Structure 1
Amino acid sequence: MLIYKIFRADEWQTLRNAGKTQGAPIDVADGYVHFSTASQAAETAAKHFAGEEDLFLLAVETDRLDDALKWEVSRGGAEFPHLYRDLQLTDVAWAQPLPLLDGAHQFPAGFETA
């Protein structure tokens, strides 16, 4: 199963340069890397990245994360995937730009948000 992380361009660049990251500032503060499922990603983008440009959507295969991945209740009582270790560049299955068009983030072709 794929789960998704939205990174700002500089955060994505840091991961590519260093090969690993503790995540965005909110991830570091919370002690884990926040992810969303496909059905949660659009709401995450709208809630936490409204109006932001230069974003990237990273897809990570859950099988690569072992027991460092925990499913925990968060927004609206839904379970969200949280990674309790550094995110490794080798964990990333793919990354695509997440452009802003008319105030909404445009997910890659073929990406199902529902």
Structure 2
Amino acid sequence: MADASSPDFVYRIMTVPEWATASEAGSFGGAALDHKSGFIHLSTAAQVPGTLALFFKDTPCVVIKLVTSKLDQDALKFEAVAERGGELFPHLFAETLPVAGPVFAAKGDVTDGVIADSTFLE
């Protein structure tokens, strides 16, 4: 569950085709990894650069969706991820993620330049 120490916002990184489908539908139902895991993977602002480098290294353009961490207090859980050094990551245990609201787009090498500095997300 998100609590008082949780950040106000978390982020979902999507490919452009994922965003196009979600935008048309009004919600994001998750990618293959989300379906396999049983939840929608999210990142804090500080985690975005590492997530980009790990999962989107060869993706020429991504969409970063701003999500309020107050979205659903029962569905959003911060859980330790062993593969990322035990760091706590936000996981949304819900069928879909609403997509209304702000998004950021990044083109080119998403692990380089301004996108690698997550302070623009805060």
Q: TM-score normalized by structure 2?
A: 0.80
Corresponding residue pairs, total: 111
Percent identical residues: 31
Gaps of 5+ in 2: 1-7
Any idea what the Cα deviations from partners look like across 1:57-94, whole Å, max 9, x if unmatched? 1110111222110110012110000001111124xx31
- Equivalent pair of 1:69/1:82 in contact (CA under 8 Å): yes
Cα 1:72–1:102 shift into 2, 3 Å: closer
In structure 2, how many angstroms separate the alpha carbons of the residues matched to 1:105 and 1:14?
A: 28
Partner residue of 1:79?
88
Gaps of 5+ in 1: none
Partner residue of 2:107?
99
- Structure 1 residue 18 corresponds to structure 2 residue 25: yes
Q: TM-score normalized by structure 1?
A: 0.85
In structure 2, how many angstroms separate the alpha carbons of the residues matched to 1:26 and 1:34?
A: 8
In structure 2, how many angstroms separate the alpha carbons of the residues matched to 1:87 and 1:79?
A: 20
* 3-state SS of 2:23 partner: helix
RMSD: 2.3
